[in-house]
Chains A and B, each alone.
Chain A
Amino acid sequence: MSKPKVGIFGLTGCAGDQLAILNCEDRLLDLVALIDIRDFPMASSDGNQECALDIAMVEGAVVTMRDARRLRAIRQRSATLVALGTCAVWGGVAAMDRDLDRAKLLEEVYGELGKEYDSCPARALHEIVKVDHNITGCPIEKEHFLAAVASLLNGDPPLYPAYPVCTECRMRENNCLLIERGELCCGPITVAGCDARCPQLRIPCVGCRGPVTDANPASALALFEEKGFDRERIWARLRTFAPVGVAS
């Protein structure tokens, strides 16, 4: 059986998810023994930019028309498309202020030159093309990427938690930052998978992995307000990583 052809791409983002893949150092040889990485611009400049792909993994949000064109082209040549990281899945940091006047923002940052720039309100991949699987995280967990590849090679969909950070935080028997210290911790509405890395270090969850399936933002909002946080601050925190999730 020939090895599946894989492409790994980055749109607008910090490239942290692609870096997480390259950081799978001791597993990279196992990986290339199983998959044929044809196009991975961040790792090699002489990829095949035309060939059909079995699996495409795409990081970053769509922030320019060029991003949108690239994404559509990737979708067209790929049987399976996997969104990689919070920006690709939920819009991420770039989409934080996507409802503000774009022209005004461009002028504020770039002055007169801004008018010329190719820039559109940031969107998650699923708002442009069909996405088959999501690996969320800021950045993604290496283990999730490897597990996803293992599952896809077997023809299985990758499975991810449908429970929030609180679950893993409680499993680790941490003190609760929200209840005991009154901190603005997004654990109850953020999808798990990080093993509560931040609360374990007494840093409240900022929601970097995006919302959990069937989150209850209305109750969370009421709870945060009850703890004394004003709406503006709560809203700023909630939309930082997953404005698409919060709006929906």
Chain B
Amino acid sequence: MKILKLPKGKLDLFASVVQQFGELHAPVEQDGKYVFKRLARWPDARLEYDRTILPPKKYFLPPRETLFRYRPGEGFVPSTDGLDQRIVLFGVHACDVYAINILDQVFLGKYKDPYYQARRRNIAIIGIDCTPDKQCFCRSMRADFVDHGFDLFFYDTGDYYQALVGTALGDDMVLATGNLFEPVGPADIDAYKERSWNKRRAFHLDVEIRDLSEIFEMEYESGIWDQLGRKCLSCGSCSMVCPTCYCYDVSDDVELGSRAGKRTRSWDSCLYFNHALVASGENFRRDRASRIKFRFYHKQRGFVAEYGRPSCVGCGRCVSACPVNIDTAQVIDRLRRVEDVGSR
């Protein structure tokens, strides 16, 4: 991997050059929170942000999208709206890049999702390093660092951004700037290592995920799930803001007076009453407790069995978005603690 550095003073220049690769989107402030948005002007970008309300998932798997239009006798026409739009996402944190890599496994694995695939191809990612806050546990989830899934990744080392070049496109971006980027020397390497060390020490939360899958297996009947079920509002906020929740619902909007229409998909959540409701009227997860339990099991156990790691990246969004303070890190901690076994 190529490693270069960009003088901080030249970031504006870099941002203006990089726009030739697509529409520039970055975190901007919205009433004290942050959202990824198309930049009206570069100074609106907030590269030192905690977390955006929605993860970059919204660019690859929009909350609602039309898949195709259909008409009896004519078949269907896939929707291609916006799929070829070139976007540069500037300022994506490591956990969010990691989450996109997880989504890649789901949408670009055995069954390729053409909509996701097109967007993934056309959206460039420039990552940026961050400082963990009280809700971050990405390090515990091994998602505090990514080695792929981005085109460029910037580390703030004081006077410079040290840049990892992840793809040929990232390299093209570097080349397009002429000689803005410089080679790194021993002092830069030290600066990087110091930053890396400091970040490691900045975490407030530490969640142990080794053998977690097995502990989940053992605690299937734990009283914790009923307690959470009584508290959970089934509002679905945690799923909406989760960078790796990929469940979607598919529905047909029929045109008035015909059997033609359009098929849309929209974000879904396993916390909704009808998520496991099937045609016979049977509901496999009628109780709220079984639904929130399912969400934890899918993230921390089911996904491990299928893909070899939890699908949680420790971004902390579900914690900050839960109206009743259900805290993923705390739940895992409680499950692990011996003294809490009494709750069974």
| Dominant secondary structure of chain A at its interface with chain B | helix
Contact pick for B288, options A170, A216, A222, CB 8 Å: A216
Encoded as 1 (CB less than 8 Å from any B CB) or 0, chain A from 185 to 221 comes to 0011100000000000000000000001111101110
Contact pick for B321, options A146, A154, A179, CB 8 Å: A179
Q: Is the CB of A176 within 8 A of B321?
A: yes
Knowing A167-B235, A171-B64, A176-B321 touch, does A162 contact B273 (C-beta < 8 A)?
yes
Q: Is the CB of B269 within 8 A of A167?
A: yes
Residues of B within 8 A of A30 (CB): 256-257
Q: Is the CB of B241 within 8 A of A170?
A: yes
Interface residues of B in 249-288 (CB under 8 A from A): 251, 253-257, 259, 266-267, 269, 272-274, 288
The CA-CA distance from A220 to B288 in the complex, in Å, is 14
Contact pick for A178, options B58, B231, B273, B323, CB 8 Å: B323
Q: Is the CB of B236 within 8 A of A170?
A: yes
Q: Is the CB of A173 within 8 A of B54?
A: yes
Q: Is the CB of A150 within 8 A of B31?
A: no
Residues of B within 8 A of A171 (CB): 63-64, 240, 266-267
Q: Is the CB of B240 within 8 A of A179?
A: no
The CA-CA distance from A153 to B234 in the complex, in Å, is 33
Q: Is the CB of B256 within 8 A of A214?
A: no
The CA-CA distance from A166 to B230 in the complex, in Å, is 18
Q: Is the CB of B33 within 8 A of A180?
A: yes
The CA-CA distance from A231 to B35 in the complex, in Å, is 35
- 13 more contacts with CB within 8 A, not counting A167-B267, A214-B234, are A33-B257, A163-B235, A164-B234, A167-B236, A170-B236, A173-B30, A175-B32, A178-B323, A212-B234, A213-B273, A216-B233, A216-B234, A219-B324
Question: Which B residues fall within an 8 A CB radius of A?
Answer: 30-33, 35, 53-54, 58, 63-64, 230-237, 240-241, 251, 253-257, 259, 266-267, 269, 272-274, 288, 320-321, 323-324
